[in-house]
Amino acid sequence: MSDEPRQESAVAQQDVHRVRLDDRTIILVGTAHVSQESADLVRDVIREEKPDRVCIELDAQRYDALSQKTRWENLDLRQVIRNKQLSTLLVNLLLSSYQKKLGGQLGVMPGTELLEAVRSAEASGVPYDLCDRSIRITLMRAWRSMSLFQKWKLLSALLAGAFGDTEISEDDLRELRSKDVLSEMMEELAHAMPTLKRVLIDERDAYLARKIAEADGSRIVAVVGAGHVEGMVRLLREGHETIDMQEITRIPKTTPVWKWVGWGIPALILGSLGFIAYTKGGQAAGENALFWVVANAVPSGIGAILALGHPLTVLAAFLCAPLTSLTPVIGAGYVTAFVQAYVKPPRVRDFQTISEDALTPSRWWSNLLLRVLLVFILSSLGSVIGTWLGGLKIVSSL
């Protein structure tokens, strides 16, 4: 995939790709994010190529997360809950823990080669750009583009990756970086979850290609994950000028269908109770309303208990679930998570060990930050179960 010959060097030639844009040369370095070999390759390429600028597959948020050792300690958990971003936090945590597990097996932390690109650029006096799309935008676009089934499928895969016994070697990584295997992997991802592949790979290929093509300098080294190289080379050669950056950085609005469903369920329940009161009397309506309260309160409360929530958290689950189930504005899980974080706030050491603790299921109960997430997950699950049980009972009584 080279546009011009080059002399043999110490670097791995199969991971370095050159693209000519008029009188400019872009040198793409395809890496694995948990490989010491990739970190060494990045350092060698920057030293040997002496570029005018280095472009790196990072955004400001991911760079801060990689370079700051106290990133979890700086987390404002209550603000995350107020903004209803616990689902995003959970996905971020599972991704981080999975990469950290692989990195621990290889003796190198995730993103080492990206930080090496920054360090090597600084040591050489070369300016560098963080060229990736905001991780927040990427996750929001991915999440809102998936169906409910796809979301559960993704979370299941992340949980399996974080808690499963995954062994991988440098030889495995070297094979994964080869073009044929990567193409096969992308095809499998496109077939299994085309929406996810489009947002995580295709859109970021386009974003990275456009940002790198617009970077200053006649000789640019770009450090990106190996899975992006093939798509970026094609875009750089054939059509980076036509990429609509505004479109691929827009956060999609929630589909109106779900808003109608969210308000439709409460309307159905309340309307059904009113109809029962009109046709069968107040006592029948009261019995069904009581069943609704119990059906929602008990499963949500049990969820909080299973998460080892504080007694006030359990009480909050019992009290709020019957009410939050009647509004899509806020769920029982967010109420219970906020109460748990308030009455049992995580300690400094909980933030410091969260990535390691997340890899072991039993530690989710001992780490107070992870326990807040457990409270959120289990009380929400209980509320969903209660909504369906209570709703079916009321509708069947019509």
In the prediction, which pLDDT does 91 show? 67
Q: What pLDDT, on a 0 to 100 scale, did the predictor assign at position 152?
A: 73
Task: Quote the radius of gyration of the chain (alpha carbons, Å).
Answer: 25
To the nearest 10 degrees (0 to 180), the angle between helices 203-213 and 135-145 is 150
Angle at alpha carbon of residue 51, lines to 209 and 177, rounded to 5°: 55
CB atoms within 10 A of CB 274: 11
pLDDT of residue 98: 59
- pLDDT tens, residue order, the chain (398 aa): 444 444 434 445 668 999 998 889 999 998 876 667 888 899 999 999 999 999 999 998 888 877 765 555 566 677 777 776 676 677 667 666 656 655 555 445 667 888 899 999 999 999 999 999 988 888 888 877 777 777 777 666 666 655 555 555 556 555 554 444 444 445 555 566 777 788 888 999 999 999 999 999 999 999 998 888 989 999 998 877 889 899 999 987 766 666 777 788 888 888 988 998 989 888 999 999 999 999 999 999 999 999 999 999 999 999 999 999 888 778 899 999 999 988 988 877 777 677 777 777 888 898 888 899 899 999 999 999 999 999 898 888 87
pLDDT at 311: 95
The pLDDT value recorded for residue 2 is 43
Cα distances (angstroms) measured from residue 369 to each of 37, 262, 360, 361, 397: 34, 29, 14, 13, 42
Which residues, at least 6 apart from 135, have a Cβ–Cβ distance to it below 8 Å?
59, 61, 62, 92
* The overall pTM is greater than 0.85: no
Place of tokens 């947002």: 199
